[in-house]
């Protein structure tokens, strides 16, 4: 029995030749017929080898013109061939803030220098693309999880199972939550790994529920009744419920809105097409409009920035908050004290759904243009050990993506026990290579409904039509 499939042997051989400059940068590869003759193979393994190299961004295939080395892959080849090794390697890390860089610095020790680039979160996507276009991709990129499909399709990311197949199989696939382990697998390639995560749901001040004489709401009817009671006794300047509700809040609006949609069994995209234009989605937007009409949500939520809603809850100016579990960064207190003051629940279920939480966060990836891919993989392994995840998440309030780390941290922190037990059955934001454009349409839909600019059914239909045009998918 053959240990390695023929197509994989050919794929490895062609990649070695490309990296050694056999075809020149941006050079033409032999035709399929020529490769069949040269390696004495049938067309099937040759076709599959080329298809996988194209999917991984090593080559590009042009109909009637031929197959060429991918310009996006070529800069990293040029660097490896022409540059002398660094006596003290410098790893370039791209991310939006400093969280978790400490773990990498500890793993790097004195022998490795880390050059950390920290653009604002809003600029992170374009900064990464600009670096790739200039042939200066970082060694490690910490990216919003919803961008991974886009960058994987473009061939910008190195499959981690090429760098360390034993770690991927023995730790990633075995210990990371299945939702995460599957999210970044494209065919046989695992192109990224989930970092510490957040879940979006309903936060509440425990004293507010005591004043209302209610427990955490389990249905939309419960939520409306709770909001009505709190609104009746609301002092001036206090909000009943805060949530990001418009385009100014960008991705945080999509985060909250998608959690609401999921709680009524509505979603945006499936493999069959765009499914946003559904009775469940319209019903969700009507419920949000009702919260505005009844004074439970205030109209100004459409103008909130990314952090305004969570800040209102943390400062005691709102009783309820719909959003992610990054409250610890705003409340400025120990996690134990936060757990005493605040509670967290899934989004209450709508008439056609179930209680839901939305999961998201940042993912680690090694770009194809990394100068030190093996060293980058080593640092990723160090930052994602069970011990390091527990230590870091106890500081930030985020949730570790590893099952073993989640089990350990739940015994040490009530805050993590309450938020983390929702994680296993969480849903994720819609995956699309053009996610940023899809997200912008969802933000506009939410703002249009809450501002009364459009009726719920019109706003949903318009958003679905535009997402269909953006993605090229039919409306299912």
10-14, 63-67, 369-373, 394-398, range with the lowest pLDDT: 63-67
Cβ neighbours of residue 371 closer than 8 Å, sequence gap 6 or more = 76, 79, 80, 83, 92, 139
d(CA 7, CA 5) in angstroms, rounded, equals: 6
What CATH fold (topology level) applies to the domain 198-357+428-471? Answer: D-Maltodextrin-Binding Protein; domain 2 (3.40.190)
Q: Backbone phi, then psi, for 433, in 5-degree steps?
A: -60, -15
Over residues 240-246, mean pLDDT: 95
Over residues 90-106, mean pLDDT: 74
d(CA 241, CA 238) in angstroms, rounded, equals: 9
Q: Could you report the per-residue pLDDT of 180-223, keeping only the tens digit for each?
A: 888 899 888 999 999 988 888 899 999 999 999 999 999 999 99
**How does residue 6 score in pLDDT terms, banded at 50, 70 and 90?**
confident
Q: What is the pLDDT of residue 332?
A: 56
Structure tokens at 408: 């350990």
Homologous superfamily in CATH for domain 89-191+360-423? Periplasmic binding protein-like II (3.40.190.10)
Q: What is the pLDDT of residue 227?
A: 95
What CATH fold (topology level) applies to the domain 6-74? Answer: Arc Repressor Mutant, subunit A (1.10.10)
Say whether 206 sits in a helix, a strand or coil. Answer: helix
Other Cβ atoms within 10 Å of 462 Cβ, number = 16
Over residues 41-67, mean pLDDT: 82
pTM: 0.72
Q: What is the pLDDT of residue 143?
A: 92
Answer whether residue 325 shows pLDDT above 70.
no
Domain ranges of the chain: 6-74, 89-191+360-423, 198-357+428-471
Tracing tokens 């998918």 back to the chain, one arrives at 473
1-5, 40-44, 49-53, 333-337, range with the lowest pLDDT: 1-5
d(CA 283, CA 446) in angstroms, rounded, equals: 13
Say whether 447 sits in a helix, a strand or coil. Answer: helix
Tracing tokens 């409340």 back to the chain, one arrives at 331
Q: Could you report the per-residue pLDDT of 402-451, keeping only the tens digit for each?
A: 999 999 998 988 888 877 777 766 788 887 888 889 999 999 999 999 99
End-to-end CA distance of the chain: 45
Q: What is the pLDDT of residue 105?
A: 72
d(CA 135, CA 70) in angstroms, rounded, equals: 12
Tracing tokens 């106890």 back to the chain, one arrives at 394
Answer whether residue 262 shows pLDDT above 70.
yes
Residue 115 burial class via C-beta count within 10 angstroms: exposed 0-12, middle 13-18, buried 19 and up: exposed
Q: Backbone phi, then psi, for 422, in 5-degree steps?
A: -85, -15
Percent of the chain clearing pLDDT 90 (strictly above): 43
Angle formed at CA 434 by CA 428 and CA 435, multiple of 5 degrees: 30
d(CA 452, CA 447) in angstroms, rounded, equals: 8
CB 280 within 8 A of CB 350: yes
Q: What is the pLDDT of residue 107?
A: 66
d(CA 218, CA 220) in angstroms, rounded, equals: 7
Answer whether residue 385 shows pLDDT above 60.
yes
Over residues 386-406, mean pLDDT: 88
**How does residue 96 score in pLDDT terms, banded at 50, 70 and 90?**
confident
In the chain, helix, strand, coil percent, each to 5? Answer: 50, 15, 30
Q: What is the pLDDT of residue 182?
A: 86
Q: Is it true that 6-74 and 198-357+428-471 share their CATH fold?
A: no
**How does residue 326 score in pLDDT terms, banded at 50, 70 and 90?**
low
CA quadruple 139, 144, 149, 153: dihedral, nearest 10 = -40
Answer whether residue 270 shows pLDDT above 90.
no
Cβ neighbours of residue 187 closer than 8 Å, sequence gap 6 or more = 52, 55
Answer whether residue 119 shows pLDDT above 70.
yes
3-class secondary structure per residue, 103-125: HHHHHHCCCCEEEEECCCHHHHH
Q: What is the pLDDT of residue 253?
A: 94
**How does residue 1 score in pLDDT terms, banded at 50, 70 and 90?**
very low
Q: What is the DSSP string of 155-204?
A: T-B--HHHH-HHHIIIIIHHHB-HHHHHHTEETTEE--EEEEEEEEEEEE
Distinct helix (H) and strand (E) counts, the chain: 24, 15
Q: What is the pLDDT of residue 198?
A: 82
d(CA 277, CA 270) in angstroms, rounded, equals: 12
29-38, 98-107, 256-265, range with the lowest pLDDT: 98-107
Q: Give how far Cα 117 sits from Cα of 90, 96, 144, 184, Å.
A: 13, 8, 15, 24
Q: Strand 113-117 to strand 90-94: parallel, antiparallel, or no bridges (unpaired)?
A: parallel
d(CA 456, CA 5) in angstroms, rounded, equals: 54
Answer whether residue 39 shows pLDDT above 90.
no
7-11, 79-83, 283-287, 395-399, range with the lowest pLDDT: 79-83
């Amino acid at each position: 029995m053959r240990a390695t499939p023929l197509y994989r042997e050919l794929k490895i051989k062609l990649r070695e030749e490309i990296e050694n400059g056999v075809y020149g940068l941006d050079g033409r590869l032999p035709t399929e017929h020529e490769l069949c003759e040269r390696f004495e193979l049938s067309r099937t393994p040759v076709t599959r080898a080329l298809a996988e190299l194209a999917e991984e961004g090593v080559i590009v295939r042009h109909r009637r013109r031929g197959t060429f080395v991918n310009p996006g892959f070529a800069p990293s080849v040029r660097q490896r061939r022409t540059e002398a090794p660094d006596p003290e390697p410098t790893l370039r890390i791209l991310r939006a803030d400093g969280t978790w860089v400490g773990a990498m610095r500890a793993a790097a020790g004195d022998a490795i220098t880390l050059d950390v680039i920290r653009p604002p979160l809003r600029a992170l996507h374009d900064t990464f693309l600009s670096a790739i276009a200039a042939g200066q991709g970082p060694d490690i990129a910490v990216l919003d999880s919803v961008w991974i499909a886009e960058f994987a399709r473009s061939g910008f990311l190195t499959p981690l199972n090429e760098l360390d197949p034993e770690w991927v199989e023995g730790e990633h696939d075995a210990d990371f939550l299945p939702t995460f382990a599957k999210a970044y697998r494209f065919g046989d390639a695992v192109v990224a790994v989930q970092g510490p995560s957040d879940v979006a749901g309903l936060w509440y001040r425990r004293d507010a529920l005591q004043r209302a004489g209610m427990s955490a709401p389990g249905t939309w009817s419960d939520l409306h009744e709770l909001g009505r009671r709190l609104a009746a006794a609301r002092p001036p300047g206090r909000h009943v419920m805060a949530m990001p509700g418009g385009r100014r809040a960008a991705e945080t609006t999509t985060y909250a809105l998608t959690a609401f949609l999921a709680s009524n069994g509505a979603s945006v995209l499936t493999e069959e097409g765009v499914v946003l234009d559904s009775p469940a989605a319209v019903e969700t937007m009507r419920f949000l409009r009702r919260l505005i009409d009844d004074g439970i949500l205030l109209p100004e939520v459409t103008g909130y920035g990314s952090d305004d809603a969570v800040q209102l809850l943390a400062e005691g100016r709102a009783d309820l908050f719909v959003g992610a579990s990054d409250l610890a960064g705003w409340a400025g207190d120990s996690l134990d004290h936060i757990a005493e003051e605040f509670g967290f629940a899934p989004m209450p279920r709508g008439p056609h759904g179930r209680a839901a939480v939305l999961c998201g966060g940042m993912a680690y990836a090694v770009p194809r243009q990394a100068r030190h891919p093996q060293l980058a993989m080593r640092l990723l392994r160090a930052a994602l050990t069970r011990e390091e995840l527990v230590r870091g998440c106890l500081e930030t309030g985020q949730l570790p993506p590893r099952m073993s780390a989640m089990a350990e941290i739940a015994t040490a922190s009530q805050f993590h026990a309450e938020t983390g037990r929702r994680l296993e059955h969480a849903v994720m934001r819609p995956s699309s290579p053009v996610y940023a454009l899809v997200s912008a349409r969802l933000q506009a839909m939410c703002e249009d409904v809450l501002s009364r600019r459009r009726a719920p059914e019109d706003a949903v239909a318009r958003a679905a039509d535009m997402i269909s045009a953006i993605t090229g998918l039919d409306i299912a």
